[in-house]
């Protein structure tokens, strides 16, 4: 009886256009197709049955994690707390490819873009990646991959799984090496092998910075098969802005001039930081209001708290997700929050630095009038998350007086 159900399931999955042949080589076939089948609603019960009777360790304990962040909010460092875990397959912002496919550098085109369509494509990609379907990603990669192989995989070097066997066959494992070394040595990514490596790890974590609000992920959170957990990473918007000015030099040229000359150019664009603050605030508000679709799935984490006590904070996050702590993560944290690691280089996205020192160092790097401007634009976000306002330059530059109020943000269990 059950065998024939399974057969029906597989046929249905095949007819739904899932790459059955690609999937059948893995023992977790029924697990892989269940979420898709259940989307039709019809085979839900069948799936349930197959799911339970064939549940192995992997199927029942598999965790899917999204590190939900904005650019320059400390997400590279926080992502490493997952990337370093040997059982986690970690990806660094795969949504980049979707955005690239939907638009080109023409800003006008971007504004015209239907936001809903883009968000829908983001969700689709996340869902497929959590199923280890890397062929789906090919729809968005430019240039179009040939033979399921691409040399344009965004930030592949930031994923230790994509820098080690079998995806990258170099003599030594590269995960402790810098990102650009992996990108250089490992050449192109064979997406068939990436899927294989993904299946071989028991959990998956994806860092994203392109989805504006938690609400935009609601349908994924409501899918019980996905069993998704969200780690909402926030950071002081004044620090985010400082980091963006230093990193995205073209886009923030006017801000840089303002900071250096103390005179506000007429073309300073206040909208981006305003939007960032609004999005952070709306998402946090959603989390704090504890809707049923976030129950057991949401935890807010301030980057400053991660930077201050990374091991303690990381353990709290692991505990919320239900993952065992790993010594390798601990070792990585100790090595990379130690001043000695700061000399690895000033690679633009490096996470190797004295994180305690960098979390509030923006205060020495931003003019007081810009700080005042951001405080006015973002004051409700700042107070919501426990970041103190400053009223004078002296207060701003006095690093021994922290602007991060001690706060506990309990996960929504």
Ligand X SMILES: *[C@@H]1O[C@H](CO)[C@@H](O)[C@H](O)[C@H]1NC(C)=O
Q: Which residues bind ligand X (CB under 6 A)?
A: 104-106, 109, 147, 149, 165-166, 190, 192-193, 196-197, 200, 242, 245-246, 256, 259-260, 334-335, 338-340, 354, 356-357, 361-362, 365, 367, 379-380, 383, 394, 398, 400-401
Please, are residues 78 and 217 in contact by the beta-carbon 8 Å criterion? no
> For residues 237 and 382, what is the distance between their CA atoms, to the nearest angstrom?
8
Closest approach of ligand X to the CB of residue 101, in Å: 12
Which two three-digit tokens encode residue 302?
């301030």
Q: Which is nearer to ligand X, 8 or 334 (CB)?
A: 334
**Strand ranges across the sheet with 298-302:** 88-92, 203-208, 64-68, 228-234, 298-302
Closest approach of ligand X to the CB of residue 378, in Å: 9
Closest approach of ligand X to the CB of residue 260, in Å: 5
Closest approach of ligand X to the CB of residue 221, in Å: 29
Q: Helix, strand, or coil here: 11?
A: helix
Considering Cα of 281, then 240, then 232, then 94, what sign does the dihedral take?
positive
> For residues 169 and 185, what is the distance between their CA atoms, to the nearest angstrom?
9
Q: Pairing between strand 203-208 and 64-68?
A: parallel
Q: Which is nearer to ligand X, 39 or 138 (CB)?
A: 138
Q: Which is nearer to ligand X, 105 or 292 (CB)?
A: 105
Q: Which is nearer to ligand X, 295 or 348 (CB)?
A: 348
Q: Which is nearer to ligand X, 322 or 339 (CB)?
A: 339
Q: Comparing C-alpha atoms, which of 233, 209, 234 is closest to residue 387?
A: 234
* Shortest-Cβ-distance residue relative to ligand X: 339
Closest approach of ligand X to the CB of residue 375, in Å: 8
Three-state SS string over 77-134 comes to HHHHHHHCCCCEEEEECCHHHHHHHHCCCCHHHHHHCCHHHHHHHHHHHHHHHHCCCC
Q: Which is nearer to ligand X, 45 or 376 (CB)?
A: 376
Closest approach of ligand X to the CB of residue 310, in Å: 12
């Amino acid at each position: 009886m059950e065998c024939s159900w399974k057969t029906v399931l597989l046929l249905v999955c095949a007819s739904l256009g899932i790459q059955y042949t690609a999937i059948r080589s893995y023992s977790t076939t029924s697990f892989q197709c269940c979420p898709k089948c259940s989307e039709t609603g019809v085979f839900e019960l069948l799936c349930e049955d197959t799911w339970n009777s064939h549940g192995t360790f992997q199927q029942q304990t598999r965790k899917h994690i999204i590190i939900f962040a904005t650019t320059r909010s400390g997400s590279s460092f926080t992502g490493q707390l997952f990337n370093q875990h040997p059982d986690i397959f970690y990806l660094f912002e795969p949504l980049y490819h979707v955005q690239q496919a939907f638009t080109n550098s023409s800003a006008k085109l971007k504004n015209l873009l239907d936001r809903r369509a883009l968000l829908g494509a983001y969700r689709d990609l996340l869902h497929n990646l959590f199923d280890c379907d890397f062929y789906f990603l090919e729809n968005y990669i430019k240039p179009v991959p040939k033979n399921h192989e691409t040399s344009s995989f965004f930030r592949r070097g930031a994923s230790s799984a994509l820098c080690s066997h079998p995806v990258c066959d170099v003599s030594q494992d590269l995960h402790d090496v810098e990102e650009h070394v992996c990108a250089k040595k490992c050449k192109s990514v064979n997406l068939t092998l990436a899927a294989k490596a993904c299946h071989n790890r028991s959990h998956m974590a994806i860092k994203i910075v392109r989805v504006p609000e938690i609400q935009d992920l609601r349908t994924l959170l409501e899918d019980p098969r996905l069993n998704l957990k969200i780690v909402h990473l926030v950071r002081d918007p004044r620090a985010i802005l400082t980091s963006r000015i230093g990193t995205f030099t073209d886009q923030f040229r006017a801000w840089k001039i303002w900071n250096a000359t103390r005179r506000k150019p007429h073309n300073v664009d206040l909208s981006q930081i305003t939007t960032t603050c609004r999005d952070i605030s709306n998402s946090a508000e959603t989390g704090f209001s504890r809707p049923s679709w976030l129950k057991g799935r949401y935890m807010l984490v301030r980057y400053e708290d991660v930077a201050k006590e990374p091991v303690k904070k990381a353990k709290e996050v692991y505990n919320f997700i239900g993952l065992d702590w790993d010594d390798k993560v601990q070792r990585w944290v100790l090595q990379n929050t130690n001043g000695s690691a700061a000399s690895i280089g000033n690679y633009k996205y490096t996470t190797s630095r004295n994180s305690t020192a960098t979390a509030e160092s923006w205060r020495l790097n931003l003019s007081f009038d810009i700080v005042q401007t951001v405080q006015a634009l973002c004051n409700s976000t700042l107070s919501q998350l426990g970041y103190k306002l400053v009223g004078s330059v002296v207060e701003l530059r006095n690093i021994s007086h922290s602007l991060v109020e001690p706060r506990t943000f309990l996960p929504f269990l």
